């Protein structure tokens, strides 16, 4: 049966994930999966359903830092009522450089889910793709706690996450586009940097081809989109996490959509491998990856602290 719109066409090859913490929006959109982060949870906390979740968490005899765990998992539980697949729940970004603390926090989040009769198979624990975060994922995956490595801006990060056995990685598109556009200034040419030529799209494409050619089982989920062209240029990626406004736009668009990414024609290579020193050097030498990773961690940490204040 011929797809009636671009959203249906995309779903032939790619799992569509809702990039929002808004429970009502997820119920309306009916995506396969959903992903959250501190910024999305903070925004969703200001909705009527979000306020109810915060009110319940305030009743817990715990510190605000621990109450946040209840908030993010309660959002996740509510979201899971409306999707058949998995929800991603993020570890406190302030733990991004502490492997042991990240592991302990992930175990607590999973325990809260399981206390609510949610199987760990339906949850992805989101962790910033620092070296320490990837090492935490290595431990957690061995315990059957599946990880979504986020804030990925480089091939080095993708390799480290895949090497650790992470279930899924989230390479960002829009934030790379933002950085490149800002760097170019007046010299930026939108037409020359659109679609498959978008610097963020090219980054995800390189990651996809490298990991697939190496036979990695790690799933790749493009994230952080600025326009529809970025999404359609990654048709065929394992998953794409898409904001509601773009999901709606794809549903309204009846133009044909062709698959762009496929592993069928790739030449097999050796498994991915990267040492800690190589990871740190490559990250340091990429001004974009270094800057955007740090910026992302700072932003998520700030939103987590704001959320804490709402739980006092």
Catalytic residues: 126
Q: Where are the alpha helices (DSSP H) in the chain?
A: 6-10, 23-29, 38-44, 48-58, 64-80, 99-115, 131-142, 155-163, 174-184, 199-213, 228-232, 244-252, 276-285, 287-309
Cα(215)–Cα(222) distance, integer angstroms: 19
Two tokens at 60? 């817990």
Burial of residue 150, with CB atoms counted within 10 A of its CB: 0-12 exposed, 13-18 middle, 19 or more buried: buried
Torsion of CA 224, 228, 229, 231, to 10 degrees: 50
Terminus-to-terminus CA distance in the chain, angstroms? 54
Cα(181)–Cα(210) distance, integer angstroms: 25
Cα(191)–Cα(139) distance, integer angstroms: 44
Using alpha carbons only, give the angle 199, 173, 227 rounded to the nearest 5 degrees: 95
SS3 223: strand
Give 85's DSSP letter. Answer: S
Cα(42)–Cα(208) distance, integer angstroms: 31
């Amino acid at each position: 049966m011929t797809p009636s719109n671009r959203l249906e066409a995309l779903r032939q090859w790619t799992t569509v994930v809702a990039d929002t913490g808004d429970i009502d929006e997820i119920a309306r959109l009916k995506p396969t999966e959903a992903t959250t982060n501190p910024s999305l949870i903070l925004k969703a906390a200001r909705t009527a359903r979000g306020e109810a979740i915060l009110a319940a968490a305030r009743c817990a005899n715990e510190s605000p830092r621990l109450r946040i765990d209840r908030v993010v998992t309660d959002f996740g539980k509510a979201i899971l009522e409306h999707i058949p697949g998995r929800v991603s729940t993020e570890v406190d970004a302030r733990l991004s450089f502490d492997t042991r603390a990240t592991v302990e926090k992930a175990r607590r989040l999973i325990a809260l889910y399981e206390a609510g009769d949610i199987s760990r198979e339906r949850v992805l624990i989101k962790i910033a793709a620092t070296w320490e975060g990837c090492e935490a994922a290595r431990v957690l995956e061995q315990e059957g706690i599946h990880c979504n490595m986020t804030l990925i801006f480089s091939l080095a990060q993708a390799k480290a996450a895949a090497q650790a056995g992470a279930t899924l990685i989230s390479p960002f598109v829009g934030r790379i586009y933002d950085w490149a556009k800002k760097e170019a200034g007046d010299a930026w040419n939108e037409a020359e940097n659109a679609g498959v030529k978008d610097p963020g799209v090219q980054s995800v494409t390189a990651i996809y081809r490298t990991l697939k050619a190496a036979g990695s089982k790690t799933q790749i989920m493009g994230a952080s989109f600025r326009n529809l062209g970025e999404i359609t240029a990654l048709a065929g990626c394992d998953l794409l996490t898409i904001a509601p406004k773009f999901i709606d736009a794809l549903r309204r668009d009846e133009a044909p959509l062709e698959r762009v990414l496929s592993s069928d024609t790739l030449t097999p290579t050796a498994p991915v491998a990267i040492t800690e020193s190589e990871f740190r050097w490559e990250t340091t030498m990429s001004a974009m990856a270094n800057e955007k990773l740090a910026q992302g961690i700072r932003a998520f940490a700030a939103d987590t602290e704001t959320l804490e204040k709402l739980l006092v």
